């Protein structure tokens, strides 16, 4: 179906988006942002833990070195208790969940 104004064709009309679809898509994207924020909180707690253990934390390049610090946290907690600490799992689960929710939210918005 083509829309016309004063006899001029404007091309195909895009399908109408229903308000409910946008609300669901936005909900997934908001949950993705909240999950990513929880991952950031987890990484900051891990940095604090490492700092107390004598590991130098470079806050200027924190985003670049974050995975190194996560690995160091896992290694130290494995040596102390025999299993990774709870903030390791908190970081991994929250970041994976953020990725999954963002993909679902974007797919719902595009389709």
Helix axes 86-110, 62-81, angle to 10 degrees: 140
Q: Say if CB 46 and CB 57 are below 8 A apart.
A: no
Mean pLDDT by 10 residues, the chain (111 residues): 60 66 90 98 97 94 95 96 96 98 93 77
Q: How far is CA 68 from CA 23, 56, 79, 93, 108, in A?
A: 38, 12, 17, 17, 34
pLDDT of 9 reads 62
pLDDT of 109 reads 87
Q: Is the dihedral of CA 9, 15, 20, 22 positive or negative?
A: negative
26 phi and psi angles, rounded to 5 deg: -65, -35
Distance separating alpha carbons of residues 53 and 94, to the nearest angstrom? 24
pTM of the model: 0.79
- E strand map for 36-108: none
């Amino acid at each position: 179906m083509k829309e016309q104004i004063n006899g001029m064709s404007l091309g195909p009309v895009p399908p109408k988006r229903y308000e409910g679809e946008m609300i669901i898509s936005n909900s997934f994207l908001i949950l993705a942002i909240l999950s990513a924020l929880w991952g950031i909180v987890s990484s900051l707690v891990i940095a604090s833990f490492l700092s107390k253990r004598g590991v130098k934390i470079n806050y200027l390049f924190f985003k670049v070195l974050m995975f190194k610090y996560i690995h160091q946290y896992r290694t130290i907690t494995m040596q102390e208790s025999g299993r990774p600490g709870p903030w390791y799992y908190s970081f991994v689960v929250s970041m994976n969940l953020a990725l999954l929710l963002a993909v679902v939210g974007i797919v719902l918005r595009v389709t």
